[in-house]
Structures are given as structure tokens and as C-alpha cells.
Amino acid sequence: MREAGRLVATAHRVIRSMVEPGVTTAQIDEAVERLFGKHGATPLFKGVPNSTPGKSDFPSVCCISVNEQIVHGIPGDRRLEAGDIVKVDTGCRLNGWCGDSAWTYAVGEIDPLKRRLMQIGEENLYLAIRETGRKKRWSEVADVMERHVRQAGFSVVEQFVGHGIGREMHEDPQVPNFLSSQLKRHDFRLEPGLVVAIEPMVNAGTKHVRVLKDHWTVETKDRKPSVHFEHTVAITADGPDILTQPVE
């Protein structure tokens, strides 16, 4: 899993180097697909079945979502513009094991709201990772995450959550970023050997979302900006180990 995580981290270094005004989201996706192919890795997202019967499978190796789009954006001919924030989520299977990571990138200079939103989203991810080494159960971490976002005046996306990861991209347990009655029923202990994809999604306005006509892209209902940050994290006897952490 560490090898798969390193390759996903390399993909994000490629993405970071490409994010600038004028670049299309398809160009970013194509670069990541070439990288995975070069290393003999299988993209995790391409071909994922749509939850709506009869609708198309996901066509790309990356989910690329801009501004008010939260997740599952389909790459295409859209060109990035200065002031955008772009979320890129990608993952691969390498030698039978999976890695998954998402990041939000600023395109040139962005406004103070987006800058603050990015700050809180990234803080929330690393806060969660740190707390996995301190808390005994995930519900305790989720509570800290939710309070951090709400204290900043933002909202937590509740329709999508993190997940266990291993041989498959989505495994048990579900890893929400907020407290709920469902989490209380399905809470889990943070024990060595567990590997989870922790992925806070934070909205500037409402927590409510809608799916666009492509049956994939999810955006905020009030069309205010959103951010998404994700790492694959192993729980070890020595504390949390970020498997998708870029090596500078």
C-alpha cells in the first residue's frame, strides 16, 4: 500500500505542476493516466459504475471539480481560470493494493473566502490524522473535525464520507467527517492494521448538494465554493502513517 500511495502522491506532484490558467481538466487527467500506465498501475476511478441504473460508468482516472463543484467532476475541455479552486481526486491499484488521495489547488490568485476555505479544509485533514493517534474511536475524531469546521463558519458535506481501503478502493468501515446517529451505531476502534481514506469536504455555505445532469458531478446547492482534501492513512503502533504524503 505504501508503494501505491507513493505513486498517487507522485500523481499529485504532476497535477500541482500543471495547475495554471488555460490548462484543461482533460489535460490533467491525461497526464495522470500516462503516469499510472508507465508504472503498470490500474486507475481506480475509470469504469466505476454509476449508482443510477442505465447511466454511464465514470470515464476518467481523476475526478476534477472546480469552485462550487465538490466531487466526481468529469474532466473535459473546461479551461482553468485565475481565481478558480480545483479539486483533483485520484487513486490507483499497484501490485494488488490501493492508494487514494484528493487535494484542492488554487489557480493563480484566489479571493479571501476561497483562501480561508482551503486553509480550514487542509487543517481539518491534518487535525483528523493527528487525532487518530490520540483517540480510541473514530467518533471522537469525527466530533473534533465537525467542530473545527463549524467554528470557522463553514459546513461539512454529509452525503459523502471517507472509507476503509486495502485490496479495494472502498472497504469497511465508512469514515464520516461528522457525528451522526449512524456513526454511533457503526463506530469503530482505531487500532494498528487499519487503513482509512480520510477525506473532509468543506463548503463555504450550505451543506446541501445536488448532482448535475451528467449524473456524476456534485455541486453545492447554493453554488458557493467547496474544498476537498484526502490522504490514505495507516494506523500503526507508532501512530498514524500517511501513505499518500508527497515526498519533497
Question: Where are the strands (E) in 136-175, listed by range?
Answer: 155-156, 162-164, 171-175
**pLDDT per position as a tens digit, 11-23:** 999 999 999 999 9
State pTM to two decimals: 0.96
Tell which residue, 245, 98, 220, has the closest CA to residue 160.
220
pLDDT for res 207: 98
According to CATH, the topology of domain 2-242 is: Creatine Amidinohydrolase (3.90.230)
In angstroms, the CA 174 to CA 158 distance is 12
Tell me, what DSSP letter sits at residue 32? H
191 by Cβ neighbours in 10 Å (0-12 / 13-18 / 19+) ranks as exposed
Instruction: Read off the C-alpha cell for 89.
Output: 481526486
Distances 20 to 17, 23, 24, 110, 247 between C-alpha atoms, Å: 8, 6, 9, 12, 22
- Domain extents for the chain? 2-242
**pLDDT per position as a tens digit, 103-119:** 999 999 999 999 999 99
